[in-house]
Amino acid sequence: MQTCSVLIYSDFTYTMMTYLINYIKAQRLSWFGHLHQMPEERTVKKVYKWKPMLTRPLGRPKNRWKDNIRNDMKKLKIKNWTSYSQDCNKWKLYAEKAKSSKNEVVAPKEKEDNVLPLLVRR
């Protein structure tokens, strides 16, 4: 049986959560650019391009790493990513842009005294 408890987060904690999420997105985009600059014979690139022979289970599909990258690029409005990822300096600029993006964490409605509740399942 699952129980829910309410945790109270201040503006500082909310800001830190936003910072951490943006940092993770920037690191993910940085690795994606690095991956696309690798030669085709590298093991990491082979694993990235590998297609499994099995079918996925029924139900809503889980988010894959590629799906997260695709969503990050949509939010940052990166359209021609294939040519940008080949240019190391330009791709670093996009990774830095991901660190400073603002509207990443969706907060619940604010309560009095700038306190935000968040439901956590145990």
Tokens of residue 81, six digits: 């990513």
Tell me what percent of the residues of the chain surpass a pLDDT of 70. Answer: 73
How many angstroms separate the CA atoms of 84 and 78, rounded? 9
In a domain, 9, yes or no: yes
Classify residue 7 as left (phi > 0), alpha (psi -120 to 50) or beta: beta
Distance CA 19, CA 70 (A): 20
Residue 57 lies in a domain: no
Q: Is residue 117 part of a domain?
A: yes
Establish if 71 belongs to a structural domain: yes
Note the pLDDT of residue 107: 42
Whether 73 maps to a domain, the answer reads: yes
Interval 68-117: pLDDT, tens? 888 888 888 888 887 777 788 888 888 888 887 765 444 444 444 544 45
- Say if 40 falls within a structural domain: yes
Residue range of the domain that includes 110:
4-48+64-121
Q: What's the pLDDT score for residue 81?
A: 81
What's the whole-model pTM score? 0.65
Residue 59 in domain: no
Q: Domain for residue 54, yes or no?
A: no
Please provide the average confidence, as pLDDT, over all residues in the chain.
76
Total domains present in the chain? 1
The pLDDT value recorded for residue 44 is: 92
For 26, half-sphere exposure in the C-beta direction (CA atoms, 13 angstrom radius) is 17
